[in-house]
Amino acid sequence: MTYPVEVPAAAVASLTHLVGEFADELGEGPPTLSEFLDILDDSIPVGEAMSGMFDRPRFAVTLAGGRRYRRREVSRAAELNDAVYVHASGLLAALADAAHAGTGKRVPLNVLAAGVAAAIRASHQQFADAAARDVVGVTARGRRIRAQADSGDVIAIPAGSGGGYHMVVALNKDSTFGLSVGALVGRASEPTLDDLAPEPMALPYGQYIHLDLISSETWPIVGRRDDLRSLWLAVTEVYYTWPEPEPGSFASAGEPPGDTLRLVVDEDEARAVGILDGSYRQNWNPVSYVRFLDQRNP
């Protein structure tokens, strides 16, 4: 695997500062390559540039001649303060951001590891038991963590037509119906909180949606805005329709798991929810929900 862009100067600087801070803090010279890898294991970045979140991946090195570097059991990394880990996070984040900007693609672990190898060689650093020139490859393996949306998280859903993103806010979960979200009025040009209106407005009533595309980060969580939850009911109701509703009503509504608390007698509510035109769904699949948002948020 080859790192797809030129190694950013910020990554080389962070690596140099990491090694120097390690030596200054412990007063025993530079880290071993094993200790350097231990530090990287605990510094993996998260965010838009990465292809996912990972549970403490483990980096490995291949040395010149195809030899596999054997990590040591004894490590001084646990004795360090935060400064070294800040530099390690800066190294990895700089590599991830540069690769993301250069390719337009989110960065998987193997590309990030290739960047580490390239940054080591570019830095000409000397480790306690290896020189930078000896490092010919770096790999990383880690268990990917499935993303979970909590109440107040803002999720960016790519529009199906017309471009941009529909921004929705996670409200509450139910074991039967899934996650309820409330959609904001308008579209964002980029999947970021920076594109939200100063005073966001809400499309009325929340919807329950499937979680798969959030878990896989196809619909990324872009930040958290707890203040937006107040734009919708504390718990999203579920509507129940029938061929012959009671006189003067359009449906019944109640909080999950299905308690009917009231009759819907307001025509505006029935129209806004989608009962009058038959578009209401108790639980939306991804394709139908994007189509629904495209129509409501043209």
Residue 187 has pLDDT above 90, yes or no: yes
The predicted pLDDT at position 206 comes to 92
Span of 131-135, 177-181, 254-258 with lowest mean pLDDT: 254-258
Q: Which of 2-6, 52-56, 136-140, 231-235 has the lowest mean pLDDT?
A: 52-56
Query: Nearest 5 degrees, angle CA 80-CA 82-CA 83?
Result: 95
Report pTM. 0.58
pLDDT for 248 equals: 82
More confident residue, 216 or 250: 250
- Length of the chain as a residue count: 298
> Hey, what amino acid is at 10?
A
Token couple for 231: 């734009």
- Tokens representing residue 114 in the block: 């290739």
Q: In 3D, which of 266, 261, 263 has the Cα closest to residue 241?
A: 263
The whole-number pLDDT of residue 247 equals 81
% of the chain residues with pLDDT over 90: 55
Most confident of 238-247, 254-263, 288-297: 288-297
Using CA atoms, how far apart are residues 126 and 141, in angstroms rounded to an integer?
Answer: 25
Residue 268 confidence (pLDDT): 92
> What is the pLDDT, as a whole number, of residue 260?
67
pLDDT band at 255 (very low <50, low <70, confident <90, very high): confident
pLDDT score recorded for residue 45:
82
Q: From residue 176, give the alpha-carbon distance in Å to each of 172, 180, 206, 239, 282.
A: 12, 11, 16, 14, 10
Q: Is the pLDDT of residue 50 over 90?
A: no
Distance separating alpha carbons of residues 30 and 133, to the nearest angstrom? 16
Residue 34 — very low, low, confident or very high, per pLDDT cuts 50/70/90? very high
Is the pLDDT reported for residue 153 higher than 70? yes
Q: Over the chain, what is the mean pLDDT? A: 90
Classify residue 203 as left (phi > 0), alpha (psi -120 to 50) or beta. Answer: beta
Which pLDDT does position 154 carry in this prediction? 95
Give the confidence band of 124 by pLDDT, cuts at 50, 70, 90.
very high
Per-residue model confidence (pLDDT) at position 258: 67
Mean pLDDT to the nearest integer, 249-257? 86
More confident call, 193 vs 176: 193
Confidence of residue 22 (pLDDT cuts 50, 70, 90): very high
Please enumerate in sequence order all residues whose Cβ is within 8 A of that of 109, keeping only pairs 6 or more positions apart, or say none.
51, 54, 57, 140, 141, 142
Query: What does the angle CA 185 – CA 188 – CA 194 come to, to the nearest 5 degrees?
Result: 110
Confidence of residue 226 (pLDDT cuts 50, 70, 90): very high
